[in-house]
Each structure stands twice: as structure tokens, then as C-alpha cells.
Amino acid sequence: MPLSPFDFQQARVKQVLFKSRLRSVLYGVREAEPALFAYAENPLGQWIQTVLKPEFGNQPAVRELENTLQHMLSTGQDLANRYQRGLIEEARAGLDQVNAFADQIETQLLSLESSL
């Protein structure tokens, strides 16, 4: 079954969810749970594994998307670690890096959506 624009919209929402949760960590609203940074437990990672990869996993663009998400998650984990070590302003300033990865992911999703 071909992917619809709704499928890609779901992926975008999942990415925003991660950024929102990370921001909550860096502003002291919630604790940094290890699951937040685990690819297998990340909603977008799960979407890639269950929706995108079964049909299109052999495409380089899918692997690129996976790599970008993994970089975003590891950057988020680094920022959470900095926050926990008391480097609060430095951690919050790092959100720009996460936003840059999010922009890359958006571009990759648009590219995949138009090519499928």
C-alpha cells in the first residue's frame, strides 16, 4: 500500500514530539528518561522501522533519514547530560543543533514523499 501525505504528516508530528519532550527536559519540566533518546523507542524511529523500511528500506534516502534521526537523538542526549551537569545555558543553546537536524529531517521527508 503506497504511503499517503497523511503518513508523512504523522512522521512530522512525531519529530515535533521529540523536540517538545527534549525542551521540557532542558527547562526542568521532566526528567531525561533514557527511552527519550533510544532510536527503537523514539516514535519517529518506530515509524521509520514499521512504515517506511518494509517497503522502501533499500533506498539510500531512508538510510540517510535514519542516520539524521540518530544524530539528532545523540545530540539531544548530550544536551540533557549537559543540563544534568549544571551547564543549563549551554544545553539550552544546543537546541539550535537539534533544530538543524529537525530541518534536515523535514527536507528528507519532503524528498522521500515526492519520490514515492
In the predicted model, is pLDDT for residue 83 greater than 90?
yes
Cα-based angle 115, 42, 110 (whole degrees, multiple of 5): 20
Q: What is the distance between the alpha carbons of residues 97 and 82, in angstroms, rounded to a whole number?
A: 14
What pLDDT is stored for residue 2 in this prediction?
76
Q: What is the distance between the alpha carbons of residues 38 and 77, in angstroms, rounded to a whole number?
A: 9
Q: What is the pTM of this model?
A: 0.92
What pLDDT is stored for residue 1 in this prediction?
58
Percent of residues in the chain assigned helix, strand, coil, to nearest 5: 80, 0, 20
In words, the CATH class of domain 5-114 is mainly alpha
CA 106 → CA 9, 37, 92, distances in Å? Answer: 10, 19, 22
Question: Per-domain residue ranges for the chain?
Answer: 5-114
